[in-house]
A = this chain, B = another copy of it.
Amino acid sequence: MTDDLPNRLREVLDGRWAPLRQAARDKLDDRFVTVPGETGEQARERISRLVRQIPAEVGVTSGFPAEFGGAGDPGGSIVATETLAQVDLSLMVKAGVQWGLFGGAVFSLGTRRHHEAWLPGIVAGDVMGCFAMTETGHGSDVQRLRTTAVYDPGTQSFDLHTPYEAARKDYIGNAARDGRMAVVFAQLIVGERRHGVHAFLVPIRDDGGRPLPGVTIGDAGAKAGLLGVDNGRISFDHVRVDRDMLLDRYGQVAPDGTYTSSIENDTRRFFTMLGTLVRGRVSVGGAASAAAKNALTIAVRYGETRRQFTAPDSDREVVLNDYLAHRRKLLTAVARSYAYTFAQELLVRDLAGALTGGEAEDRRQRELETRAAGLKALQTQNATRTIQMCREACGGAGYLAENRLPGLKADTDVFTTFEGDNTVLLQLVGKGLLTGYRDAFGSLDGWGRAAFAAEQVREMVLERTAARTLIARLVDAVPKRGDASVGLTERGWHLSMFEEREKHLLEGAVRRLRRGAETKRDRPFDIFNDVQDHVLEAAQAHVHRIVLEAFTAGIEETTDAEAKALLGKVCDLYALSTIEADKGWFLEHERLTPARAKAVTGAVNDLLDELRPHMTTLVGGFGVPDVWLNAAILREEADRQAAM
């Protein structure tokens, strides 16, 4: 092992946007890092100030066109979110609300006149704004939200109104303190005709920061984390909104009230509008994985110096990382972290390609939305578990705010909920798979509505998302059901195990849905609900498969031989520990014999031994600067070593 291997791994992980990642490491110094033990007020004040001071090189606004102050690089803005997440998650969310959700909605849903009038101020941070979609009574079912915007041709304005408390906008970032404007989602009504949910650009505060007439703003109050983000509640009492403040890219209202749209179906139009906002999900998934890397770096480095018990071998210093159980937790999580990094990079590349390459074909767009939903769900779920595990792995020290882990845990905790509840998103993935992406965006729940009929499902042909030729060659190289004779570290075997699981789960779901459609005609809710656990499992299996494909493709692209060899071992660990974790399924479906299942556990333990000397190298590859880790236990350790 050579000394700069962590750097070379970092170069591989940094991927296409390496210069942007390096710029963030250079520019985001200790002024920007978290301050443990702040009050909510202190955190809001600090973050509100800092969000305007983020250096341009970090790239948070790079997704906007150059003419409005951006760089025309939407992938870069997602990568910027990932780096900010490692510095301070409140700062990341605050920036995400301002430029991702609010600015992104004005850009994606508005037209030229909105862009010219508002984007320069938004990009510069002079016009702070909110993304007011979620309502108290409607979290996941945003298509049914209850705020209304009734057009009045007489005044050429919309009457924006919150009809009752459950329709108030809730959990809205930037609302409680800083937002001057909001993109408000409301049911558009013209005369007797309802046109579904549309977005309106609405001023909510005057220059002095006071709510405008008719606008009531409340504070969501204390939260588990993200103390620096001013979440609030907004309601409207017949607020007049000028006609030209409708963000009218997908639906237009003429002065006389005539409604026009290039998309006839209300549902389809709404989900097209939502689709343009897929970046938010990609950002949240990436940010979750980025935060998990901080936690793993802290826990692995602490475990490399911390002793628990004196070892009986007098000539040996035993540290936490030497314990098998400790390594099992940390190293398998490190392997997942590597795997998600490659999957996220590929997703950002593909999304950036679709966003800058003009209108993508419908099917391609659906696949991207499905992948974004699935990777958001699994990355945030994994981050929640990983950070929790790292907290516990650091014992009492992990409970102190000065060691960062409590903040990482509390701040990321809501990531499994916002930008789409994970269960709802995995249902979306399941539906996308079952319908071959034909109707995946028909509704957000995917179930419970008659719109989805079981007859729509078809025989499954899995689509490979990465390095199709390579993956096909690897899979074809192993005999089908090639138990026993096939080496446990054959990548082709891993890939075919992941594929078979997904395919079998999907086919089983189809069979059960068809049977249900025949026997439960009068209970449409039950048709889907009775299969819900099965579909969620299939969706997860799908994401596991595309992650392994992306990891495999990423290793193939790696040119540094030493890095490539180590990544191969890490990928083995990812694949085998994933198979081990779900060995119940593989045994139940006779894809593993009992003897081979035990051999998988043995192989995982062997890999944990082989990778033991590389633990700090691997977290070094994450490339998180010490100042971003901001953990007292690591500083103390550095002091001790310097003093020796």
Contact = CB atoms under 8 A, between A and B. Distances in A.
Interface stretch (A187-195, A249-257, A402-410, A474-482): A402-410
Contact of A414 (B318, B399, B449, B529): B399
Interface string A542-586: 000000000000000000000000000000000000001011100
Nearest to A401: B222
A536 interface: yes
B401 A144 contact: no
A421 interface: yes
Nearest to A41: B39
Interface stretch (A15-23, A178-186, A319-327, A364-372): A319-327
A325 B536 contact: yes
A141 interface: yes
Contacts of A530: 324, 605
Nearest to A632: B221
Contacts of A220: 400
A174 interface: no
17 contacts: A37-B40, A140-B308, A140-B309, A222-B401, A223-B400, A224-B405, A224-B410, A309-B449, A324-B530, A391-B413, A392-B417, A395-B417, A398-B417, A406-B413, A583-B584, A584-B587, A587-B587
Contact of A409 (B39, B224, B324): B224
A297 B522 CA distance: 33
Residues of A in contact with B, size category: 35 or more
Interface in A379-426: 384, 388, 391-392, 395-396, 398-402, 405-406, 409-410, 413-414, 416-418, 421-424
A325 B532 contact: yes
B396 A134 contact: yes
A643 to B, nearest CB: 11
A445 interface: yes
A642 to B, nearest CB: 15
B529 A323 contact: yes
Which 7 pairs of residues, A with B, have the shortest CB-CB distance?
A37-B222, A224-B406, A222-B401, A584-B584, A587-B587, A583-B584, A309-B445
A601 to B, nearest CB: 8
A497 B424 CA distance: 35
A424 B533 CA distance: 35
Contacts of A323: 423, 529, 532
A598 interface: yes
A594 B605 contact: no
A313 interface: yes
Contact of A223 (B309, B401, B532): B401
Interface string A599-640: 000000100000000000000000000000000000000000
Contacts of A406: 222-225, 410, 413
B448 A318 contact: yes
Given A312-B524, A414-B399, A445-B309, A594 B584 contact: no
B396 A418 contact: yes
Given A170-B396, A313-B523, A584-B584, 19 more contacts: A39-B39, A141-B310, A222-B406, A223-B399, A224-B401, A224-B410, A308-B424, A312-B448, A316-B525, A318-B448, A322-B525, A322-B529, A395-B421, A399-B413, A399-B414, A399-B417, A409-B413, A587-B597, A588-B594
A590 interface: yes
Contacts of A399: 171, 223-224, 413-414, 417
Interface string A436-470: 00000001110111100000000000000000000
Interface centre among A316, A449, A588 (most CB of B within 10 A): A588
Interface of A: 36-37, 39-40, 134, 137, 139-141, 144, 170-171, 220-225, 307-313, 316, 318, 322-326, 328, 384, 388, 391-392, 395-396, 398-402, 405-406, 409-410, 413-414, 416-418, 421-424, 443-445, 447-450, 523-525, 529-530, 532-533, 536, 580, 582-584, 587-590, 594, 597-598, 605
Given A139-B396, A141-B309, A402-B222, A324 B587 contact: no
A589 B134 CA distance: 49
Contact of A139 (B225, B395, B414, B444): B395
Nearest to A402: B221
A406 B388 CA distance: 14
Interface centre among A137, A308, A421 (most CB of B within 10 A): A308
Contacts of A222: 36-37, 400-402, 406
Contacts of A40: 37
A328 B587 contact: no
A594 B583 contact: no
A318 B222 CA distance: 30
A50 B39 CA distance: 23
A284 B2 CA distance: 47
